[in-house]
Structure 1
C-alpha cells in the first residue's frame, strides 16, 4: 500500500486544483496537489516537497483534514490530506503532473464532475463551513 499526501490550498473561499496530464494516473481529472511520501519522510515534509516540485510554493502553515483510502485492486493508496492556508510564492506549474491549475470556489469544486476522487467533496464541504 502506498502512502501519499495531498494539499488543498485555500484562500478567499477558493481551493487550488490541478488538471491531471494525459500520461498520469487520474488523467483529465481535477486533483489536489501532492504525491508519494518517500522513505523516512513525514507526511508534512512530503507535502512541502511536493508543493515546491509541482507548483513552486513553500508551505508555511496547514492542518490535517483527514485520510482517504484511494486507488483500487493492486494499487491501493492511503492519501493524507492537508488544508494549507499559508504559503510563500504564487502557484504556477513546475512540472508535467498537471496541464493546468485553477482556483475554484469551494461550492463549485464540490460539484465538479471530473474529480480524481469523489471523496474530496466532503472535504470541500467541511472547508466551506470553516470559511
Structure 2
C-alpha cells in the first residue's frame, strides 16, 4: 500500500473573513479557487508546513490555530488536512506569489461566490461554521 502524502490547507481567517486563492497553475486547476497550502515535507509537522507554505505562497507570517475536523482525498497518494490560521501581528498583507493569480477575502455571505476546487468544498463548509461562530463572537464584543 502506498503511503499517504499529507497536503495542508490554510483556512486563513481575519476579521470574520476567509482568504481564497485562485489557482494560476497547473492548467487543469487554473481559474478555480482553493485554500492555500501545500505538501508536508519529510520530518516536518503539518503545522510547520502550513506556516512555511503561507510564507512561500503568500509572503505572510501566520500561525496555525486549530485543525478543521475531517480529511479529504486528493489524487492518490495525497490527502488534504485543513487548519484554521491567522496572520501574526506585523505580518504583511497576503500577495499571490506562487501558483495563484488572485486573492480574495470572503465574508460568510460571499463564500460561495467563487468557484472552489471540489476537494476544498467540504473543508470550506467546515470552516464556514467556525467563521460564523467567530463573527457571532465579534458581534458580542461591540
Q: TM-score, normalised by structure 1?
A: 0.84
- Determine if contact 1:65/1:82 at 8 Å carries over to the other structure: yes
Q: How does 1:1-131 map to 2 (within 5 A)?
A: 1-23=4-26, 26-72=29-75, 75-87=76-88, 88-95=91-98, 97-109=99-111, 111-112=112-113, 114-117=115-118, 118-131=121-134
- Hey, which bits of structure 1, 4+ residues long, moved more than 4 A? none
Which structure's residues are more often strand, by fraction?
1
* Structure 2 contact 74–80 (Cα < 8 Å) conserved: no
Where do 5+ consecutive residues of structure 1 fail to align?
none
CA–CA distance in structure 1, aligned partners of residues 114 and 51 of structure 2: 28
Q: Quickly say closer, same or farther: Cα 1:113–1:99, change in 2 above 3 A.
A: closer
Aligned length: 127
Root-mean-square deviation (Å): 1.9
Report the Cα distance in structure 2 between the residues aligned to 1:25 and 1:36, rounded to whole angstroms: 19
- Tell me which protein shows more helix as a share of its residues: 2
Deviation at 1:77, TM superposition (A): 2.3
* Aligned-pair CA distance for 1:107: 2.9
Once residues 24 and 15 of structure 1 are traced to their aligned partners in structure 2, the CA distance between those partners, rounded to angstroms, is 25
TM-score (norm 2): 0.78
Preserved contact between residue 7 and residue 47 of structure 1 (Cα < 8 Å): yes
Cα shift at 1:85: 2.4
- The structure having more radius of gyration, on CA atoms, is 2
Unaligned runs of 5+ in 2: 135-142
Equivalent pair of 1:6/1:47 in contact (CA under 8 Å): yes
